[in-house]
A and B are shown apart, each in its own frame.
Chain A
């Protein structure tokens, strides 16, 4: 059972790392807007990209 003396502190370190990473994300605007990013892939490609893709397709 002595293994828990290692594993539990290890889990706590991981927990602290997780919280630190989350705080970093919040401070870097990763959670400010949860709605718009989901829609970005649905928007039309910008014209330049769209034109190149059309060129790739054989007539």
Chain B
């Protein structure tokens, strides 16, 4: 019995056991494409389409119906709308394999009117499209993409997984078939070479040739398929790419050998053909692994967002719904250990949430009733009830993912240039091959074939086209591993040239909290007693000073209960403990109960009616890694400076502690911009580091802007680099990485150009046999890929600094 596909109506090939869940039943489908399409339509609640339609859909792989992409339900999940009428989407594209593919897609989509920008990243297989909503529908764009033979997928983690797995398995199979085939073909080739020297009777020779043909055929027909498919695609689009030369070379070698075998001619090249295929597949396999590693970070973030949510209906009952069905205003319940399905506000009592994957902060944060919860953060104490505020593409998580995706799909200037040169180069190579063939035909017809084949193989600009994308991809993934995101792809080049790093003070070098550094007590009082009284008075206060006191008083010390607490804004707190009146706060306020005064910003006075009990000295808490980060930057030969809007005394205090001599206090944003301007006019390349509450314009004025991940979205959107880990020591590490990346990139480009220019003349003069050309070409591609793998995150500097940082509360003398 032959079964037909539920989605497209075609017969299902034998051995295919795929099912799509539609309206609760599993339906047989013929391919992954149809499965995805059917399940997709079903999850949107459009399963009725299958009952109502009067003819089967197109096979999804050929040209699926993309009109579903224009539905608001779907667009809300994957499309980001801008205020100026443009929209942005990121799609995952099947069959996107090389720089030539991305060039083709770029060209084809840009021709559509209404498409504003197309950015293709062959490494991550993602295409970012910006279009004007009024001029063209998303479905029309995607239809064009499908017509080219690239199947677009919504960019979500599930589609990615299925695709990844299938691609990895097929690639491995092809590689092994090519490898085993190559080994066998080589053995038979050795026999034939030996026979050519020692003598071999024609029947044995023909036997080995036929056996060689037998093992090489699967290599060419099965393992080399990606090259033929790629060449076909390039031909259909009338653009020349690398696959054209590769496929032409494979086909030429194979068909010539086949002809020689059948007619009993002089020479067969089955070993060359299979080795060529194997080495090329090996290079592509390595590249695939490298780019999968790079895509891992984005996947981890995308997977954070759960697919289902528990929604409370108006009658109070709970129902399970898909996350994409949630709307602002819904009330959802999140169990302990589960991730938030959307951004929202907390309805119940206080709870603890872990936002580590978003902010890098590993300690759970306490959220109180009415405070914001972020999609993707994990509930540590629950269950939690929350009111949904933002869903889908509007969540904070989505904006972070979009930031990373933009970093991955925005192709650096160098890559664009590289592609253009490669495409022109291929045309030249084909012309040169024809010329070589013609020349040898007149000089020595017997060598025509070998020489022109060698030119074709040697000149394949694979290494050249690979070098830029592989290097940048590797750098982006290494940066992501030390917690640095690169929203602008030219950031690396700029970072490598930086010679002055300017820090904002508050929120960047310091944390927005205070720490207690010293307690001076009046005669006859103990520090413990004074701290307990202070803690009792500050018990309910939200002032940073109160937090510093609470941190200093360990939990064992019992805190007495204070009565009739009264807060005087900007001055301090008054309260009664065991019948005694106390005041804590600014000196003039605290000592008003008695007499005397001191004036120091950083001292808080605790006093009773008779006079001062204790002076509590506080200071701003430095980021624990700040000093090490600045020392590391100095070691790299960079100037370090600080700009602060704070008072001179505070700025000086921080500058002394961090050993910064070049600082400016009481600087308005205009003054900061002016300072940056002066440095830049003096010839410096300036990096500005800020958290961005009011730094966004200042960041924009620097050569390279670095925003902290804990900062505002505004700052992050204008930044070249975002420190997602929220750690300053990522800056020196990132700079080292940038220097390595540029060095490796230069090596790769020099290597590729030198190889091609040295190889082509040799091949044209018939000095390079085809098998040597195949080794050389694959070796140059492998060299580029392996050289790029050298770009690795510096060895765990983050952990080292963390381990040596003193514990925060330890600074308090007790």
Q: Which residues of A contact B (CB under 8 A)?
A: 1, 4-5, 8, 11-12, 15, 18-19, 22-23, 26-27, 31-32
> B484 an interface residue at 8 Å Cβ cutoff?
no
Pick from B169, B172, B176, B215: contact of A12, CB below 8 A.
Answer: B215
Given contacts A12-B184, A15-B215, A19-B176, 9 further A-B contacts (CB under 8 A): A11-B184, A15-B184, A19-B180, A22-B173, A23-B173, A26-B169, A31-B172, A32-B165, A32-B168
Q: Which residues of B contact A19 (CB under 8 A)?
A: 176-177, 180
**Per-position 1/0 for B208-248, Cβ under 8 A of A:** 00010011000000000000000000000000000000000
Minimum CB–CB distance from A56 to chain B (whole Å) comes to: 35
Minimum CB–CB distance from A12 to chain B (whole Å) comes to: 7
Question: Is the pair B176, A22 in contact by a Cβ cutoff of 8 Å?
Answer: yes
The 5 A-B residue pairs with the shortest CB-CB distance in the complex, in nearest-first order: A26-B169, A22-B176, A26-B173, A31-B172, A26-B172
CB-contacts of B188-224 with A (<8 A): 204, 207, 211, 214-215
**Per-position 1/0 for B507-544, Cβ under 8 A of A:** 00000000000000000000000000000000000000
Q: Which residues of A contact B204 (CB under 8 A)?
A: 1, 4
Q: Which residues of B contact A32 (CB under 8 A)?
A: 165, 168-169
Question: Is the pair A15, B168 in contact by a Cβ cutoff of 8 Å?
Answer: no
Q: How far is the CA of A12 from the CA of B184 in the complex (A)?
A: 9
Q: Which residues of B contact A22 (CB under 8 A)?
A: 173, 176
B208 and chain A: residue at smallest CB distance: A8
Question: Is the pair B211, A31 in contact by a Cβ cutoff of 8 Å?
Answer: no
Q: Which residues of B contact A23 (CB under 8 A)?
A: 173
**Per-position 1/0 for B169-183, Cβ under 8 A of A:** 100110011001000
Q: How far is the CA of A1 from the CA of B205 in the complex (A)?
A: 13
CB-contacts of B144-181 with A (<8 A): 165, 168-169, 172-173, 176-177, 180
Q: Which residues of B contact A (CB under 8 A)?
A: 165, 168-169, 172-173, 176-177, 180, 184, 204, 207, 211, 214-215
Q: How far is the CA of A23 from the CA of B176 in the complex (A)?
A: 9
Question: Is the pair A15, B180 in contact by a Cβ cutoff of 8 Å?
Answer: yes
Q: Which residues of A contact B176 (CB under 8 A)?
A: 19, 22
Q: How far is the CA of A5 from the CA of B204 in the complex (A)?
A: 9
B170 and chain A: residue at smallest CB distance: A26
27 contacts between A and B (CB under 8 A): A1-B204, A4-B204, A4-B207, A5-B207, A8-B211, A11-B184, A12-B184, A12-B211, A12-B214, A15-B180, A15-B184, A15-B215, A18-B180, A19-B176, A19-B177, A19-B180, A22-B176, A23-B173, A26-B169, A26-B172, A26-B173, A27-B169, A31-B169, A31-B172, A32-B165, A32-B168, A32-B169
B165 and chain A: residue at smallest CB distance: A32
Q: Which residues of A contact B172 (CB under 8 A)?
A: 26, 31
Q: Which residues of A contact B215 (CB under 8 A)?
A: 12, 15
Minimum CB–CB distance from B161 to chain A (whole Å) comes to: 11
Minimum CB–CB distance from B601 to chain A (whole Å) comes to: 53
Of A4, A8, A22, A31, chain B has the most CB atoms within 10 Å of the CB of A8
Minimum CB–CB distance from A5 to chain B (whole Å) comes to: 8
Q: How far is the CA of A30 from the CA of B176 in the complex (A)?
A: 14
Minimum CB–CB distance from B255 to chain A (whole Å) comes to: 23
Q: Which residues of B contact A5 (CB under 8 A)?
A: 207
Q: Which residues of B contact A26 (CB under 8 A)?
A: 169, 172-173
Q: Which residues of B contact A11 (CB under 8 A)?
A: 184
Q: How far is the CA of A1 from the CA of B169 in the complex (A)?
A: 41
Q: How far is the CA of A25 from the CA of B177 in the complex (A)?
A: 14
Q: How far is the CA of A8 from the CA of B204 in the complex (A)?
A: 12
Q: How far is the CA of A7 from the CA of B168 in the complex (A)?
A: 34
B177 and chain A: residue at smallest CB distance: A19
Q: How far is the CA of A11 from the CA of B187 in the complex (A)?
A: 12
Q: Which residues of B contact A4 (CB under 8 A)?
A: 204, 207
A9 and chain B: residue at smallest CB distance: B211
Q: Which residues of B contact A1 (CB under 8 A)?
A: 204
Q: Which residues of B contact A15 (CB under 8 A)?
A: 180, 184, 215
Minimum CB–CB distance from B739 to chain A (whole Å) comes to: 29
Q: How far is the CA of A12 from the CA of B213 in the complex (A)?
A: 12
Q: Which residues of A contact B207 (CB under 8 A)?
A: 4-5
